[in-house]
Structure 1
């Protein structure tokens, strides 16, 4: 703080094919011609290969708790609902779940306005329910990551209630307060004058992400407080050491209960320019009617990195390789590298790489852009592990952003292939594996998201990517027994759901399962060096994962266009050069028996994954 499948009746042979897929997913071994064969030397090597801490190659899965599973029948998802669905997540191959804020909150921004860091909102359950979820996850080797919102609290948090009560209150300096400037002062803009109180106006031109000035007047103290986001989300003053101590204590509360780490919301915004200089104008106005501004004085200030180093030190005192994941929308890979701590690797283990999945041109694939971002992540992060992501609760779903209406299924498979075969940890968003679509409200009165309320009709909010998870074709898609749900269930849930896709061998869900199973069983897909191939091809993205621990190298080729593309791949001096090729996964029937890197014709938006140097059965 950015599908419609035709189904047919399932025959007995279809069920057998499903069982075969599930068996392959559970026991995937490259180069084995029969599961009963004696393991090859590469398989033995894989058992002893050490590829680092658990998070380095993990598949993370974001859960928006309001929308995943309702266990109480009130139309709102909850913690016990998540626990009920852990077996599904295990079958998918998920290593850790990130749960969006489930703390007590007035729900102005649906949990990102926290009123108590050390409890659970009653609509989601209790602390005991969270303990139970953590324990049940542990039984299935699924860790729990919590969302930690450190930039701001709710204005209903006791800290802010105290802070806003009096200038002499000990917590007054826990938030960012300012007297403002005289309304008739020099250089005061017309925009500032719109927010005049008692002859004072905000000290600068900073704009809230939800509309209006980023400064809110409080008569009790005759001052403005700063809020980067909604006015009910006052920013904490991280220049006050007491704030850091209190926030770190809140993190320890959950670390002591066994959470595996935190996703840090809007973490680059912890600090603001102490001189409160005006942001440069970027031209034009936004959906709320405010001027577009750059954010050089309100985001990614150098001070934040000192906090990250201290936070990393604190977290590393706990056993089990606890992890810090950052919501880091940054301009380039060089800026991203700073969030790892550069060559020292002493800040976040996994700042999110938003450059690949949210690089600006969201209405089409671009092989050159993907190639650049993948190569930068491989070569410009001092060896740090990237964390790629294509979907989250703040952005239109990738299904819609990258779609062309005709090849959506194939395009979704390309994105999944990039996410799960590139050298990175992977972050999924609930329903991504099904092809859930963005279901944007049609009327302003149906909008729940505050940014949609203030920005309608130009900005329709984020409700569309937060609709209930689609489990089956029953009432409310199996999400809830309530007569109404907090957001409507999408109309395509009768066909796009877990139950339907689990029994369809060629479904998007089973494509994800196969990709995840491949990376779990093969050190090459987890740890092999990534080398870009065919670097000048404008239409096809191809790369090699060099073999690890005796396992063969893997080649990935993805057609980013609606036209057939013929490629010939030269591995050069890369590992596996000149050896046999076996197709291991593709959505192009004509390529299932391909055994060559020469003259491969990829159909429109086709994905092809091949193994170099060891013959195995194709999938």
Structure 2
């Protein structure tokens, strides 16, 4: 695809909304569609082009809506189908686009399809899900079909007493996996989950767990990486199965009819060529994917949370980002830039410094870094404010996510309630848990951060940082705020999209342990930029880039106050020393 006729989604910045936590319009303590509609002018004012709404479908909410009981109905606390139609039309009225979450690896166990599948072995929908007989050992003891560990701990297999078989669930037991090998099942998924919404005018989908639909033949055991524990991490076994390309080509054929886009969530895919095969324009499977290289930096190797905070070197983050950026080099593939979403802790707390002294500056540094990467940019609600993780003092009972509570319980059991192990588990969750992305959006410094009425009880605790200036109202009137900086960054990104959105990425001074620097070069026409980010609380030297004299280069954006003005390009004074958490964008 030539750059002159780039599809809309290539130059877009997409703003992700988590409905339960965004804005509550009826004061029942739960965010809703009315709250999103009320906030569209604010969202548009950021300079974004599209919104992505996390699951708002009918659901028992075992996994916050990623367990869908009806693809063609809305979760009542969020609103009605009429509210969804209003949201779609109001987004379009503002010249923006809307994409929805497409969750089709599994349904809820309350979905009508599964209820029928579970009712008897000879039900016509029995084969719509993945049922298998038990294995029995020499003593006649029943075991699941294999040793796969689910994404939330324990076995991926659930015994069903009524029909005397196991069903597969890669996530919660309440999220049974659909059987994609059944053609009838696939057609029903496409009609109910995709076409029904495309007909209502949505502009595309973020596709959940996009590489898990095709399971490997025979469902073999995973290698033992956690000795002494019966269930083993199996992501590299069950992802990217033999029929994935065919399924994605079928889906793409539907999306193309509606001129709709796709971005797939693509974990456990270390092979660059496999990723390119998914997102090559010529192959017509997916438009782009989220790779997990950057957000997985610092997580545990055996289990995600089995790690200590800041357990990584900057070089690892550089290499992770370079890997996803270099997808564009010599290919017809496309990529994404993101560091936060509903499944990640807040980036300022993970990769910056969330202390009052440095959180604003390090949040701006991260904004510059990810705002200058190539591909489609994704911004998560609250990221534009520099929202941070909940403090360590928040009790574990306030953590609502099934992933967090399962891990904490497992560590208590494994350690026989050893206080040190329990404290380490809490510290890991305070650093990495998904809950931090799910605390209510911070609109004001008032009670409940303006997310809901003062008399209401928010469904999840509000971060105390809302009262410390991290909120829309305080930041909107402050030129030196993270919010103001994001708006500037997105404006510059559009003005220089040839380099910043479409350009080729090259690491500079790759082994530098404190400074992350890279050059972007335009693929069409001319233009080069240099981005420099000091990932440390100490002064650092500017990198030496091919002996280039940066004193003659123009600074487009910086995150440090100069002569009483914040974020002002250093026109007069050239400084070869970077202050703590300082970042600069040079045009070369």
**Smaller-chain TM-score bracket:** 0.7 to 0.9
Classify the secondary structure of the residue corresponding to 2:57. Answer: coil
CA shift at 1:595, angstroms?
5.8
Classify the secondary structure of the residue corresponding to 1:427. Answer: strand
Question: Could you tell me which residue of structure 1 aligns to residue 99 of structure 2?
Answer: 145
Q: 2:579 aligns with which of 597, 603, 609?
A: 603
Question: Could you tell me which residue of structure 1 aligns to residue 528 of structure 2?
Answer: 553
The alignment status of 1:112 with 2:66, answered yes or no, reads: yes
CA 1:160–1:87 in 2, change beyond 3 Å: closer, same or farther? same
Question: Could you tell me which residue of structure 1 aligns to residue 400 of structure 2?
Answer: 448
CA 1:389–1:501 in 2, change beyond 3 Å: closer, same or farther? same
CA shift at 1:51, angstroms?
6.0
Question: Could you tell me which residue of structure 2 aligns to residue 492 of structure 1?
Answer: 465
CA shift at 1:399, angstroms?
1.7
CA 1:516–1:420 in 2, change beyond 3 Å: closer, same or farther? same
CA shift at 1:101, angstroms?
0.7
Classify the secondary structure of the residue corresponding to 1:113. Answer: coil
Alignment of 1:237-316 (within 5 A): 237-250=179-192, 251-284=194-227, 291-316=231-256
Query: Could you list the per-position Cα deviations for residues 407-464 of structure 1 after superposition, in whole angstroms to 9, with x for gaps in the alignment?
Result: 3333222221121112121111111111212227844544432233333254656333
CA 1:596–1:298 in 2, change beyond 3 Å: closer, same or farther? farther
Q: Is the 8 A contact 1:214 1:226 kept in 2?
A: yes
- In the alignment, the residues of structure 2 paired with residue 353 and residue 63 of structure 1 have an alpha-carbon distance, to the nearest angstrom, of 20
Higher RCO (Cα < 8 Å, 6 or more apart): 1
> Which has the larger Rg?
1
What is the total number of aligned residue pairs between the two structures? 545
Q: 1:89 aligns with which of 38, 43, 51?
A: 43
Q: Is the 8 A contact 1:100 1:147 kept in 2?
A: yes
Question: Could you tell me which residue of structure 1 aligns to residue 302 of structure 2?
Answer: none
CA 1:432–1:378 in 2, change beyond 3 Å: closer, same or farther? closer
Classify the secondary structure of the residue corresponding to 2:448. Answer: helix
Compute the TM-score of the two structures, normalised by the length of structure 1. Answer: 0.81
CA shift at 1:228, angstroms?
0.9
Q: Is the 8 A contact 1:336 1:353 kept in 2?
A: no
Query: Could you list the per-position Cα deviations for residues 77-127 of structure 1 after superposition, in whole angstroms to 9, with x for gaps in the alignment?
Result: 111110110011111111111111110011111111100011111111111
CA 1:290–1:109 in 2, change beyond 3 Å: closer, same or farther? farther
Classify the secondary structure of the residue corresponding to 2:345. Answer: coil
The farther-off stretch of 523-532 and 89-98 is 523-532
Question: Could you tell me which residue of structure 1 aligns to residue 416 of structure 2?
Answer: none
Query: Could you list the per-position Cα deviations for residues 452-485 of structure 1 after superposition, in whole angstroms to 9, with x for gaps in the alignment?
Result: 3333254656333201100012232111115201
Q: Is the 8 A contact 1:434 1:508 kept in 2?
A: yes
Q: 1:399 aligns with which of 329, 338, 348?
A: 348
CA 1:341–1:592 in 2, change beyond 3 Å: closer, same or farther? closer
Q: Is the 8 A contact 2:239 2:268 kept in 1?
A: no
> RMSD in angstroms over aligned alpha carbons?
2.9
- In the alignment, the residues of structure 2 paired with residue 92 and residue 365 of structure 1 have an alpha-carbon distance, to the nearest angstrom, of 32
The farther-off stretch of 147-156 and 528-537 is 528-537
- In the alignment, the residues of structure 2 paired with residue 549 and residue 278 of structure 1 have an alpha-carbon distance, to the nearest angstrom, of 48
Q: Structure 1 runs of 4+ off > 6 angstroms?
A: 548-551, 596-599
CA shift at 1:167, angstroms?
1.1
Alignment of 1:329-478 (within 5 A): 329-332=267-270, 334=272, 337-338=275-276, 340-342=278-280, 344-360=282-298, 363=310, 366-381=313-328, 382-404=331-353, 405=355, 407-439=358-390, 442-456=394-408, 458=411, 462-478=434-450
Q: Is the 8 A contact 2:148 2:156 kept in 1?
A: yes
CA 1:552–1:205 in 2, change beyond 3 Å: closer, same or farther? closer
CA shift at 1:205, angstroms?
1.6
Q: Is the 8 A contact 2:561 2:568 kept in 1?
A: yes
CA shift at 1:598, angstroms?
8.7
- In the alignment, the residues of structure 2 paired with residue 241 and residue 473 of structure 1 have an alpha-carbon distance, to the nearest angstrom, of 53
- In the alignment, the residues of structure 2 paired with residue 597 and residue 350 of structure 1 have an alpha-carbon distance, to the nearest angstrom, of 41
Compute the TM-score of the two structures, normalised by the length of structure 2. Answer: 0.85
The alignment status of 1:234 with 2:185, answered yes or no, reads: no
Q: 2:516 aligns with which of 517, 524, 541?
A: 541
- In the alignment, the residues of structure 2 paired with residue 409 and residue 554 of structure 1 have an alpha-carbon distance, to the nearest angstrom, of 24
Q: 1:530 aligns with which of 498, 505, 508?
A: 505
The alignment status of 1:513 with 2:465, answered yes or no, reads: no
Q: Is the 8 A contact 1:166 1:221 kept in 2?
A: yes
Q: Is the 8 A contact 1:354 1:389 kept in 2?
A: no
- In the alignment, the residues of structure 2 paired with residue 371 and residue 450 of structure 1 have an alpha-carbon distance, to the nearest angstrom, of 31
CA shift at 1:514, angstroms?
0.6
- In the alignment, the residues of structure 1 paired with residue 75 and residue 482 of structure 2 have an alpha-carbon distance, to the nearest angstrom, of 34
Q: Is the 8 A contact 1:204 1:276 kept in 2?
A: yes
Question: Could you tell me which residue of structure 2 aligns to residue 564 of structure 1?
Answer: 539
CA 1:132–1:276 in 2, change beyond 3 Å: closer, same or farther? same
Classify the secondary structure of the residue corresponding to 2:488. Answer: helix
Classify the secondary structure of the residue corresponding to 1:258. Answer: coil
- In the alignment, the residues of structure 1 paired with residue 268 and residue 34 of structure 2 have an alpha-carbon distance, to the nearest angstrom, of 35
CA 1:551–1:365 in 2, change beyond 3 Å: closer, same or farther? farther
Alignment of 1:166-245 (within 5 A): 166-184=120-138, 200-245=142-187
Classify the secondary structure of the residue corresponding to 1:235. Answer: coil
CA 1:302–1:409 in 2, change beyond 3 Å: closer, same or farther? farther
CA 1:313–1:480 in 2, change beyond 3 Å: closer, same or farther? same
Classify the secondary structure of the residue corresponding to 2:4. Answer: coil
Classify the secondary structure of the residue corresponding to 1:62. Answer: strand
The farther-off stretch of 497-506 and 381-390 is 381-390
The farther-off stretch of 529-538 and 201-210 is 529-538
CA shift at 1:569, angstroms?
4.4
Question: Could you tell me which residue of structure 1 aligns to residue 559 of structure 2?
Answer: 587
- In the alignment, the residues of structure 2 paired with residue 597 and residue 52 of structure 1 have an alpha-carbon distance, to the nearest angstrom, of 39
- In the alignment, the residues of structure 2 paired with residue 549 and residue 365 of structure 1 have an alpha-carbon distance, to the nearest angstrom, of 36
